Chains A and B, each alone.
Chain A
Amino acid sequence: MSGEGIDALALSIRVAILATFINAVVGIPLAWVLARRRFRGRGAVDLLVTLPLVLPPTVTGYYLIVLLGRRGWLGAPLYAATGWTVAFTWYAAVIAATLMALPLLVRTARAAIESVDRDLEKAAFTLGRSEWRVALEVTLPLARNGILAGLVLAFARALGEFGATLMLAGNIPGRTQTVPLAIYTAVQTGESGEALVLVIVLTLVSCIVLLAAGRLGARAA
């Protein structure tokens, strides 16, 4: 594997880990809120989170440019204030991967939370627990396997993200080029050996993640 290939692998793993972490912090509370709370705009939030799952990734990437690009709704004021833009940095790859992975975690975790017996939560209320403590001590522990499965899916999705990343982060070797982008570039430029190595590496990493998650799940059950 070339130096650029190793850079791409290191970046891909860093991006996927960070995106999965952000997914856990944002997505698990979001899944709980969608599963257990009724509020105005709930349908809109659900739709917005799910959209990246059904839209072509390039369309999601286009919206990200409109929002965060140097001339974007949020990007322009940020650029005016700091002279910095997120576009074409590796942060952009993290943002794209996070957004693309979020619906997988939220939908899986939400289904797991919804399947927790409401009577268990009600029992905990009568035993003095606040809604927040009930979520932490009863609902989330019982939904643990589903949440874990959602995180694995999110990691895999983040690792494989291509379209939205290309739109917002570009394909700059050594800076924003993740493994999927490096594979595409290698094929385009006729470096079939490099492409094959990267394909095998990505396949192996995915298999290791799945096996590790399966082991965790077995221990949890």
Chain B
Amino acid sequence: MTGLEIRLTKRLAGFTLDVAWSAGDGVAVLFGPSGAGKTLTLQCLAGLIRPDAGRIALGGRVLFDADSGIDVPPQQRRVGYVFQGYALFPHLTVADNVGFGLRDRPRVERARRVADVVQRLGLGGLERRYPRELSGGERQRVALGRALAIEPALLLLDEPLSALDAPLRRALRDELRALLSEVGTAAVVVTHDFTEA
């Protein structure tokens, strides 16, 4: 059982988020207009924001349960998060960005894992570049690679295509879809664009 169950309430000034759904394996899409609380939901899943009430369970592992006081910190959730603007570390190279979550692994394993992700995402030759030297599509793949490198139990993608221009968006949409099904990690994708869903 690797499904995702989420039920949560978060009260903010002038806005209350109420979410309840569950998903099986594969890719779930959160679709809705901006301001509906999609990003907030992702941040609750990642443990970056603490809901006021509810329960989040992933593959039978409880990540958050307000009633029993469980709140696994983001560091231990094994949730890969691809931010809307990618949030690549501008002071680190592509290889160091991808390997950022592998600090505790032995050096050899870390290098192998980075090489593996770089190759799988077609980033070969860009390892020593900095994010500012990359195209939008390359940045997206680095962000995805950085999240995948930790072998996450769940992948979160916040508007993964919105930072790109329209022609590139169309090309990358199919690429992303193929990649996600190839990786096989459960994923939640947030979008406000129906064609992306």
Contact = CB atoms under 8 A, between A and B. Distances in A.
Nearest to A134: B75
Contact of B75 (A117, A119, A128): A128
A128 B103 contact: yes
A125 B147 CA distance: 12
Interface string B124-150: 000000000000000000000011001
Interface residues of B, number: 26
Interface stretch (B52-60, B78-86, B110-118, B160-168): B78-86
A119 B83 contact: yes
A119 B87 contact: yes
A125 B87 contact: no
B146 A125 contact: no
B132 to A, nearest CB: 12
Contacts of A138: 89
Given A125-B74, A130-B75, A119 B101 contact: no
Given A127-B146, A128-B150, A122 B104 contact: no
Interface string A98-141: 00000000000000000001011011111111100000001001
B90 A142 contact: yes
Contacts of B100: 124, 127, 129
Size class of the contact patch on chain A: 10 to 19
B13 to A, nearest CB: 15
B29 interface: no
A126 B79 contact: yes
Nearest to B149: A127
Nearest to B77: A126
Contacts, number: 56
**What's the dominant secondary structure at chain A's contact region?**
helix
Given A119-B83, A119-B85, A125 B75 contact: yes
Contacts of B75: 125-126, 128-130
Contact of A127 (B47, B48, B85, B101): B101
Interface string B25-64: 0000000000000000001001110000000000000000
B104 A123 contact: no
Contacts of A117: 85, 87
B91 interface: yes
Contact of B48 (A125, A141, A142): A125
Contacts of B73: 125
A124 B90 CA distance: 13
Given A125-B48, A127-B100, A120 B87 contact: yes
Nearest to B80: A126
Contacts of B74: 122, 125-126
Contact of A142 (B77, B91, B147): B91
Interface string A165-206: 000000000000000000000000000000000000000000
A122 B85 CA distance: 12
Interface string A141-169: 11000000000000000000000000000
Contacts of B76: 128
9 contacts: A117-B87, A120-B89, A122-B83, A122-B87, A125-B73, A125-B74, A126-B47, A128-B101, A130-B75
Closest 7 pairs (CB-CB, A-B): A127-B101, A119-B87, A125-B74, A123-B87, A126-B81, A119-B83, A128-B75
Interface of A: 117, 119-120, 122-130, 138, 141-142
Given A119-B84, A123-B87, A142-B91, 9 more contacts: A123-B81, A125-B74, A125-B75, A126-B75, A126-B79, A127-B100, A128-B103, A128-B150, A129-B75
